[in-house]
Amino acid sequence: MKRTMENQKLIDIRNLVKRFPIGDGSFTALRGITLAFAEGEFAGLVGPSGSGKTTLLNIIGSLDTPSEGSVTVLGREVTHLSHREAAALRNHHIGFIFQTYNLLPVFTVYDNVEFPLLLQKGGAAGRKKAVLEALEWVGLADKAQSRPAQLSGGECQRVSIARAMVKRPQLVLADEPSANLDADNSHHILRTMKRLNRELGTTFIFATHDEKVMHYLDRIIGLEDGRVARDERIENTTEDDHPPASGEIGGSELPGEEDFARP
């Protein structure tokens, strides 16, 4: 039985304004954004460059703070979080996937995926189990001892997904995750994320202008000049509706729901 997605507010954004100082003046990146995200959403912030997608994603991820308005993530008002509290929120509850993967080049795939858990100071046995599980999810268990330099772009992004998911976060923020990938790899990682979303109930929010990503989204929020231009929910979107990857890229079948149960 699949996990029930509770329709609770995971993120609540009200009248969000973000300004960046430029010289003597300032540039307003976000202008009065009001949005809410429920648990288990697979949503995307779409729009052209400079529309404020990444800025909004950064504020949701407590990497940045609003100039005005309020942003509540997992019940915490990010405006009022100290550096330490924001770091703890990111470490325990938020996963990040970057366009450039941002893997640690000197670490193996296993070490990269293990890294967020080391910051949580959990037991070694539990950590190992979680890492191997996460690598299974993305089909890279056999590459555990490889270095990022030995992997393809698609594999690197799958490691990045495993790293984001290994701590079973409630929220994953993905900034242009497919921008550096070819079509096959893009579809593969998107299918992986979609499955994780469905099986684990993890909320995914993307910042993207990649058409391929939009096909997978349940909700598309269009941003233009720092404002919400549209907010559409798309019905009946499943991974089976999307074009299959041309050729297998080494991804294994994802495990059943019992394997995905939150601890």
Contact, 170 vs 197, CB < 8 A? no
Q: Which of 115, 136, 146, 210 binds another protein (CB under 8 A)?
A: 115
CA distance 233 to 134: 29
Q: Is 38 in the site for another protein (CB under 8 A)?
A: no
Q: Is 83 in the site for another protein (CB under 8 A)?
A: yes
Q: Is 105 in the site for another protein (CB under 8 A)?
A: yes
CA distance 260 to 2: 10
Token pair of 18 as six digits:
């973000």
Q: Is 58 in the site for another protein (CB under 8 A)?
A: yes
Q: How far is the CB of 64 from another protein (least distance, A)?
A: 5
Q: Which of 22, 25, 84, 258 binds another protein (CB under 8 A)?
A: 84
159-218 residues near another protein, rule: CB under 8 A = 163
Q: Is 106 in the site for another protein (CB under 8 A)?
A: yes
Q: Is 67 in the site for another protein (CB under 8 A)?
A: no
Contact, 39 vs 7, CB < 8 A? yes
Contact, 168 vs 263, CB < 8 A? yes
Contact, 71 vs 15, CB < 8 A? no
Count of residues of this chain found to bind another protein when the rule CB under 8 A is applied: 26
Lay out the sheet containing 25-38: strands in order across.
25-38, 9-22, 68-73, 76-77
105 vs 263, which CB is nearer to another protein? 105
With CB under 8 A as the contact rule, which of the stretches 38-46, 117-125, 131-139, 212-220 interacts with another protein?
A: 117-125
CA distance 172 to 168: 9
Which parts of this chain interact with another protein (CB under 8 A)?
A: 55, 58, 61, 63-64, 83-84, 87-88, 90-92, 96, 98, 100, 102, 104-107, 115-116, 118-120, 163
